[in-house]
């Protein structure tokens, strides 16, 4: 079993990085679905804007530092950040970038997975996503690099029946005459979390090849296979941090509007749906589709719910042919300020374990989670040899019913030894 991300090859880490990006999209699908079901469609827009504005500047600047392009204030720096953030999950979003000058560029989406998910719900739903939410959140991401940066649509949905070609196109520029945008207060609050401040050390590469950083020119499309082994380990961990920052900021926004109990309900629903389907995908990726206790242990070792290990600390040990123990150990995730920690681990601390059991069931539906006496953060995992058929929980049905769940990611093996930039 490979217990550490660094044990995997470059090719595998590139695949895993894309899976971690997908996890953020599953979190959105299930979390926002729970929000709409419990509080109505109108709740979605305001909460979604706050959710992304709260943390996208934080994790954008983290990735800038991690990948060696911090300090820039130009459009290329903005584009590099967008290429390495879960909001533009590779392949689910087919995004291309072009730099015209340090102060101007464009990006366009040949295909947008969320649009394909949303269009069946009608034009009004498309406008909420592509207009109401994108306008402030795109600018919010850009101001992490330059407070005078602006992102404006060239064209965007709703699409006419006769529309063909790119789903949308956006112009990005530095407007030196504009009033600088200020960071939202909620972003400043999120910077104060232990999660936002966690340090990810970089170890030596275990395999030759690839870029150690992204300090060079912008690629039209950055593929993770272009990065070095050491860089990919860091990128995977940073993607996991992006996931958890978004989880926590969503729950904080819900708690402020609807109360903490409402936030914890959404957190458990989200963890159940997203955790389950990510276990499905990682189980298949590891080649252990038959399930069993060994497969559960292997999947948990790399599941984004438990990454990065510098923030989340857990141990899982096999205790029998069909059983294991899992324990959340002392770690920063358990010591966030109460008002800043309403995510998955906080739900576990409250005894809400449906999401944790769902992660196990996503590997093997026979799995059961049993609390251990005397330790509120320790459980037994038991795989019952006799499977009693039961319908998937609603959260899982929602996650599986998406275009996202059917996404088949493609490798770019030829890029493991090749790098070619398209703009300066």
pLDDT digits (tens, 9 = 90+) for 271-322: 999 999 999 999 999 999 999 999 999 999 999 999 999 999 999 999 999 9
- Classified as helix, coil or strand, 66 is helix
- pLDDT tens for each residue of 337-390: 877 788 898 899 899 999 999 999 999 999 999 999 888 889 999 999 887 778
As given in the structure block, the two tokens for residue 115 are 């649009």
Stretch 72-80: mean pLDDT, rounded? 97
As given in the structure block, the two tokens for residue 366 are 């026979």
- Classified as helix, coil or strand, 104 is strand
CA dihedral 221, 225, 228, 231 (to 10 degrees): 70
Residue with the larger pLDDT of the pair 242 and 162: 242
The predicted pLDDT at position 167 comes to: 96
What is the separation of C-alpha 419 from the centre of its chain, rounded to a whole number of angstroms? Answer: 26
In residues, how long is the chain?
424
Q: How far apart are CA 221 and CA 94, in angstroms?
A: 9
Q: How far apart are CA 339 and CA 342, in angstroms?
A: 7
DSSP 210-224: SBS---SPPPSS--G
Whether the bond into 404 is cis, omega within 30 of 0: no
What is the separation of C-alpha 6 from the centre of its chain, rounded to a whole number of angstroms? Answer: 20
162's CB contacts (< 8 A; 6+ apart) are none
pLDDT band at residue 417 using 50, 70 and 90 as cut-offs: low
Q: What is the CB-side half-sphere exposure of residue 298 using CA atoms within 13 A? A: 22
Is 343 in contact with 322 (CB distance < 8 Å)? no
Contacts by 333-337, CB closer than 8 A, 24 or more apart: 333/194, 333/195, 334/377, 335/194, 336/193, 336/194, 336/195, 336/248, 337/193
Is 293 in contact with 381 (CB distance < 8 Å)? yes
Q: Which residue bears the tokens 């979003």?
A: 93
Q: In what order do the strands lie in the sheet with 378-383?
A: 314-320, 323-328, 378-383, 367-371
Average pLDDT, the chain: 92
- pLDDT tens for each residue of 168-195: 999 999 999 999 999 889 999 999 999 9
Of the chain, the end-to-end C-alpha distance in Å amounts to 42
How is the chain split into domains, by residue range? 38-188+207-229
- pLDDT tens for each residue of 113-142: 999 999 999 999 999 999 999 999 998 888
In this structure, are strands 104-112 and 93-101 parallel, antiparallel, or unpaired? Answer: antiparallel
CATH code that applies to domain 38-188+207-229 = 3.30.1380
- pLDDT tens for each residue of 83-120: 999 999 999 999 999 999 999 999 999 999 999 999 99
pLDDT band at residue 418 using 50, 70 and 90 as cut-offs: very low
């Amino acid at each position: 079993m490979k217990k550490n991300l660094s044990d995997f090859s470059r090719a595998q880490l590139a695949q895993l990085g894309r899976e971690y990006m997908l996890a953020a999209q599953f979190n959105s699908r299930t979390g926002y679905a729970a929000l709409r079901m419990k509080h109505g469609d109108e709740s979605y827009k305001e909460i979604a804007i706050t959710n992304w504005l709260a943390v996208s500047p934080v994790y954008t600047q983290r990735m800038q530092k991690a990948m060696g392009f911090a300090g820039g204030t130009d459009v290329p720096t903005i584009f590099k950040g967008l290429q390495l953030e879960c909001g533009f999950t590779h392949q689910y979003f087919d995004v291309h970038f072009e730099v015209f000058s340090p102060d101007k560029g464009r990006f366009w989406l040949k295909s947008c997975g969320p649009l394909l998910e949303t269009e069946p719900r009608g034009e009004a739903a498309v406008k909420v996503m592509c207009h109401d939410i994108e306008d402030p959140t795109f600018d919010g991401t850009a101001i992490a690099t330059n407070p005078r940066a602006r992102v404006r649509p060239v064209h965007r949905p709703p699409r006419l029946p006769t529309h063909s070609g790119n789903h949308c196109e956006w112009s990005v520029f530095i407007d030196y005459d504009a009033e600088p945008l200020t960071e939202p207060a909620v972003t400043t609050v999120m910077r104060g979390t232990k999660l936002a401040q966690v340090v990810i050390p970089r170890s030596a590469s275990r395999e030759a090849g690839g870029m150690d950083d992204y300090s060079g020119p912008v690629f039209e499309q950055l593929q993770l296979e272009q990065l070095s082994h050491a860089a990919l380990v860091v990128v995977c961990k940073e993607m996991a941090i992006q996931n958890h920052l978004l989880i926590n900021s969503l729950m904080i926004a819900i708690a402020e509007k609807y109360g903490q109990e409402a936030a914890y309900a959404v957190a458990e629903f989200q963890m159940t749906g997203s955790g389950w389907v990510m276990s499905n995908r990682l189980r298949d990726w590891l080649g252990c589709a038959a399930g069993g206790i060994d497969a559960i242990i292997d999947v948990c070792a790399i599941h984004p719910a438990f990454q990065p290990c510098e923030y989340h600390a857990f141990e899982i040990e096999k205790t029998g042919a069909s059983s294991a123990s899992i324990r959340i150990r002392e770690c920063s995730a358990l010591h966030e300020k109460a008002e800043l920690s309403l995510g998955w681990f906080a739900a576990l601390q409250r005894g809400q374990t449906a999401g944790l059991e769902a992660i196990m069931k996503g590997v093997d539906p026979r799995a059961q989670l049993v609390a251990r006496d005397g330790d509120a953060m320790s459980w037994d995992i038991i795989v019952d040899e006799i499977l009693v058929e039961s319908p998937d929980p609603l959260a899982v049905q929602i996650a599986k019913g998406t275009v996202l769940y059917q996404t088949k990611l493609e490798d770019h093996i030829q890029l493991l030894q090749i790098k070619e930039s398209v703009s300066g």
